[in-house]
């Protein structure tokens, strides 16, 4: 328990000790609540200059005047609150998948240490002279056993704690999911997928697919490499479920801390190989995550690629039809 | 009382200004095949080559011709680019008679030397009023695969889009339905239309088609990047004509930016869908972009991105021209953008160092195509 209390302190210490750019990697401030149709209503009503509770055509900018044409049900030349709500509830339909160019990409998840591909890419982007590159690569390779040892220890601790929460069979599946995460350290897909013709975000889509078929849900979680989802599908008693998630969260926090330490250690070991500027670039590259395209564009509506956790999606937002 | 007099005075002036061109054009003019008739900008002569420039059969490099890149072409079957069609479109593009008071043309705000953007943040329309968005680059519009235009994609295909600025009350202020009547008295137009469409009839539809052909013909493909790419096996290889910094910038671009800006091929630096890059964080008060058109709350703050070709010259950047340098743009992406509810999931903090930023700028500058920026076939034919 003391170790768990120490983690936030260590995180804070690392954050303070580092430079402005070595803030906790992968961190993006949680998004505010999704915009809703009420936001649309509020936005349109903000154009109501004369305060009469309606938005007249001449109160809107040129681009938005056509909204009055679309939504003015009582033909008074303006949109009142109800008309705006009706418009917002029935947004213009997306005009199909948009030229067959869906966006397929993965966003790296909050891994504790960059995988070898990431590190090699960070080194390659420095455009080092051949000899220097070979020396830098040698440093990376000599660092790997240490990273592996740290990871094994953390994972061992995680599994030990999970033993008191999961059955043997569940623990086996849990290990499989962890292994999958190790080899495929990407989040599930950003964007929208189609389920039965309607578009949903990924989480909702998976829930719909899972409905009424727990075994399929478990398989889906295994395929997607999602340990949180797997825990939820086991239907554990609430306290056990909470404890399992807490163990997982502590593991991740531990890895984040360890990862920062290992990244810093690796950069430090490059002192005799790279210049200060190159080390700074290398460090920033290790912390950076970029969305990765998943091969070439697929076609909308493809079935999930087996075992990869990648779901082929239709383009996030298809082209709207012309404004009348 | 004073107010009424003032109103009447203003009305009289407006009437006089409105009637003056009609009166002027009714006066007999010296006939000249090369001199613009009365309603055109005074003293401008139209100069066209004897044989039309080649717009239709340009020798594109191989990376434009690989299958995925070819798929980006939005040229419709019923309006292919022809040399005469694009020539007519070029004349129309620079003809100030497409504005209500004969003062602005498309070329007034889409300036060739600036890769067909306005070097000012906002453009002045025919009455001197400012627009509220930066004039988008027209470069390589042919290769926007969704075939939808404007920052908020409210324009449908290019044929539908090209006349929207004409009728916009701030930009050019002219009812496009009146265009045939305005252009018909000009003795040169029937011949231009005949060459382009087979007969001299001037219609709004043909005006739109010709403009679209000209705009689609604006293809930039001879940049330093294109030369390097042509000599390499792939964009990932170091280009022999690049400096170390430029090659480094290219590698960084491919790793961090290409997922959006060079998707699936190596010729077109365009995005295939609109996106919210976190320029603002308040969905209620900022420009709503696509969301203002569709009223889809998830599309608030989404905008189209123009091609990055010639981006060195398309400053200022973004829909409202808020960034005046490429370095500022890169800093925006480096930060991950502001916390808008619809911010694209691909907008992650990049933590670019200064040297990374400089390398990215160096690479982006290799997308400059000097030949395109000075090619006379895209220039103003009126002297």
Phi, psi dihedral angles at A252 (to 5 degrees): -65, -45
Q: Which chain A residues contact residue B169 at CB under 8 A?
A: 62
Residue B7 sits at the chain A interface (C-beta within 8 Å): no
Chain B 135-154, residues with CB within 8 Å of chain A CB atoms? 145-148, 152-154
Q: Cβ–Cβ of A32/B154 closer than 8 Å? A: no
pLDDT score for A289: 77
CB-nearest to A320 from B238, B260, B293 is: B293
One digit per residue, the tens of pLDDT, for chain B of length 383 reads: 455 555 555 555 545 444 444 444 433 333 333 333 334 554 689 999 999 999 999 999 999 999 999 999 999 999 999 999 999 999 999 999 999 999 999 999 999 999 999 999 999 999 999 999 999 999 999 999 888 999 999 878 999 999 999 999 999 999 999 999 999 999 999 999 999 999 999 999 999 999 999 999 999 999 999 999 999 999 999 999 999 999 999 999 999 999 889 988 999 999 988 999 999 988 887 899 999 988 888 899 999 999 999 999 999 999 999 999 999 999 999 999 999 998 988 888 899 999 999 999 999 999 999 999 999 999 999 99
Query: Which chain A residue has its CA at the smallest distance from B358's CA?
Result: A281
pLDDT score for A21: 36
- DSSP bridge pairs for B289: B302
pLDDT score for B282: 86
d(CA A298, CA A313): 8
Query: Looking at CA atoms only, how far is residue B49 from chain A in angstroms?
Result: 37
Query: Looking at CA atoms only, how far is residue A281 from chain B in angstroms?
Result: 6
Stronger pLDDT, A295 or B253, i.e. the higher one:
B253
Q: Cβ–Cβ of A99/B300 closer than 8 Å? A: no
Query: Looking at CA atoms only, how far is residue B145 from chain A in angstroms?
Result: 6
ipTM of this complex: 0.78
> Alpha carbon of B182 to those of A317, B98, B263: distances in Å?
40, 9, 43
pLDDT score for A196: 42
Residue B298 sits at the chain A interface (C-beta within 8 Å): yes
Count of CB pairs separated by less than 8 Å, A with B: 179
pLDDT score for B70: 93
Q: Cβ–Cβ of A124/B251 closer than 8 Å? A: yes
Q: Cβ–Cβ of B350/A35 closer than 8 Å? A: no
As a whole number of angstroms, the longest Cα–Cα distance in chain B is 79
- DSSP bridge pairs for B130: B124
Stretch (H or E) spanning A123: helix A116-124
Site of tokens 């937002």? A317
pLDDT score for A243: 94
Q: Which chain B residues contact residue A32 at CB under 8 A?
A: 281, 339-341
* Statement: residue A205 has pLDDT above 60: no
Q: Cβ–Cβ of B273/A290 closer than 8 Å? A: no
Chain B 221-250, residues with CB within 8 Å of chain A CB atoms? 238, 244, 247-248
- Which range among A208-212, A251-255, B332-336 shows the weakest confidence by mean pLDDT? A208-212
Signed CA dihedral, A283, A285, A286, A287: sign only? positive
Query: Looking at CA atoms only, how far is residue A101 from chain B in angstroms?
Result: 7
CB-nearest to B342 from A35, A103, A293 is: A35
Query: Looking at CA atoms only, how far is residue B173 from chain A in angstroms?
Result: 12
CB-nearest to A99 from B146, B292, B345 is: B146
Q: Cβ–Cβ of A322/B155 closer than 8 Å? A: yes
Q: Which chain B residues contact residue A37 at CB under 8 A?
A: 295, 297
Kindly report the average pLDDT of chain A as a whole number. 72
Q: Cβ–Cβ of A99/B356 closer than 8 Å? A: no
- DSSP bridge pairs for B45: B35
pLDDT-derived band at A303 (thresholds 50, 70, 90) equals very low
pLDDT score for B285: 79
Q: Cβ–Cβ of A43/B342 closer than 8 Å? A: no
Q: Cβ–Cβ of A284/B259 closer than 8 Å? A: no
pLDDT score for B314: 98
* Statement: residue A298 has pLDDT above 60: no
pLDDT score for B321: 97
Residue B90 sits at the chain A interface (C-beta within 8 Å): no
Stronger pLDDT, B156 or A44, i.e. the higher one:
A44
Q: Cβ–Cβ of A290/B350 closer than 8 Å? A: yes
Signed CA dihedral, B314, B315, B321, B326: sign only? positive
Best residue in B295, B340, B360 to probe A by mutation, most A CBs within 10 Å? Answer: B295
SS3 call for A254? helix
Residue B209's CB is within 10 A of a number of other CB atoms, namely 23
Best residue in A31, A43, A67, A119 to probe B by mutation, most B CBs within 10 Å? Answer: A43
From B112, B111, B109, B54, select the one nearest B85 (Cα to Cα). B54
pLDDT score for A300: 30
Q: What angle do CA B224, B227, B232 make, to 5 degrees?
A: 120
């Amino acid at each position: 328990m003391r170790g768990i209390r120490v983690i936030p302190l260590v995180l804070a210490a690392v954050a303070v000790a580092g430079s402005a750019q070595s803030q906790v990697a992968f961190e993006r401030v949680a998004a505010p609540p999704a915009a809703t149709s009420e936001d649309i209503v509020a936005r349109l009503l903000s154009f109501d200059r004369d305060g009469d509770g309606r938005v007249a055509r001449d109160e809107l900018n040129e681009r938005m005047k056509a909204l009055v044409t679309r939504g003015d049900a009582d033909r008074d030349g303006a949109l009142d609150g109800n008309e705006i709500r009706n418009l917002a509830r029935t947004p213009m339909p997306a005009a199909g998948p948009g030229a067959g160019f869906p966006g397929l990409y993965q966003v790296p998840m909050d891994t504790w240490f960059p995988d070898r591909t990431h590190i090699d890419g960070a080194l390659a982007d420095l455009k080092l002279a051949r000899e220097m590159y070979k020396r830098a690569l040698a440093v990376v390779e000599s660092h790997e056993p240490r990273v592996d040892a740290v990871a094994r220890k953390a994972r061992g601790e995680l599994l030990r704690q999970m033993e008191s929460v999961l059955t043997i069979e569940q623990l086996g599946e849990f290990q499989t999911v962890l292994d999958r995460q190790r080899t495929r350290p990407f989040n599930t897909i950003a964007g929208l997928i189609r389920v039965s013709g309607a578009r949903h975000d990924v989480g909702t889509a998976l829930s719909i697919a899972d409905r009424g078929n727990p075994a399929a849900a478990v398989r889906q979680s295994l395929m997607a490499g999602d340990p949180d989802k797997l825990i939820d599908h086991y239907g554990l008693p609430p306290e056990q479920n909470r404890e399992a998630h807490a163990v997982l969260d502590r593991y991740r926090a531990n890895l984040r801390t360890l990862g920062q330490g290992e990244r810093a250690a690796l950069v430090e070991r490059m002192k005799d190989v790279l210049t200060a500027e190159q080390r700074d670039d290398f460090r920033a590259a290790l912390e950076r995550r970029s969305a990765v395209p998943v091969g070439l564009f697929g076609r909308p509506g493809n079935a999930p690629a087996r075992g990869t956790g990648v779901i082929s999606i239709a383009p996030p937002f298809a082209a709207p039809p012309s404004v009348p | 009382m004073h107010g009424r007099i003032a109103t009447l005075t203003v009305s009289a002036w407006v009437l006089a200004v409105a009637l003056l061109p009609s009166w002027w054009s009714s006066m007999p003019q010296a006939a000249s095949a090369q001199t613009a008739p009365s309603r055109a900008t005074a003293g401008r002569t139209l100069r066209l080559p004897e044989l039309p420039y080649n717009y239709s059969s340009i020798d594109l490099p191989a990376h434009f011709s690989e299958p995925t890149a070819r798929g980006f072409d939005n040229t419709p079957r019923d309006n292919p680019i022809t040399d005469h069609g694009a020539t007519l479109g070029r004349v129309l593009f620079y003809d100030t008679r497409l504005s209500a008071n004969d003062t602005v043309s498309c070329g007034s705000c889409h300036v060739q030397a600036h890769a067909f953007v306005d070097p000012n943040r906002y453009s002045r329309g025919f009455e001197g009023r400012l627009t509220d968005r930066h004039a988008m680059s027209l470069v390589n519009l042919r290769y926007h695969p969704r075939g939808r235009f404007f920052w908020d994609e409210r324009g449908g295909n290019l044929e539908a889009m090209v006349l929207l600025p004409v009728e916009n009350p701030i930009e050019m202020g002219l009812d496009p339905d009146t265009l045939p009547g305005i252009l018909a008295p000009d003795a040169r137009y029937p011949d231009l239309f005949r060459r382009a469409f087979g007969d001299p009839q001037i219609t709004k539809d043909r005006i739109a088609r010709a403009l679209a052909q000209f705009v689609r013909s604006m293809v930039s493909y001879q940049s330093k990047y294109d030369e390097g790419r042509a000599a390499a096996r792939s964009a990932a290889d170091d280009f022999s004509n690049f400096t170390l910094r430029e090659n480094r910038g290219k590698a960084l671009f491919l790793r961090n930016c290409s997922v959006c800006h060079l998707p699936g091929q190596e010729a077109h630096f365009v995005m295939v869908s609109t996106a919210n890059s976190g320029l603002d964080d308040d969905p209620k008060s900022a420009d709503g972009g696509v969301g203002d058109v569709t009223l889809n709350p998830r599309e608030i703050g989404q905008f189209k991105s123009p091609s990055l070709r010639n981006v060195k010259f398309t400053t200022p950047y973004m829909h409202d021209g808020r960034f005046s340098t490429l370095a500022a743009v890169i800093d925006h992406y480096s930060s991950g953008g502001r916390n808008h509810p619809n911010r694209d999931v691909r907008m992650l903090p990049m933590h670019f160092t200064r040297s990374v930023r400089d390398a990215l700028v160096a690479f982006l500058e290799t997308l400059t195509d000097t030949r395109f920026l000075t090619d006379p076939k895209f220039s103003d034919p009126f002297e």
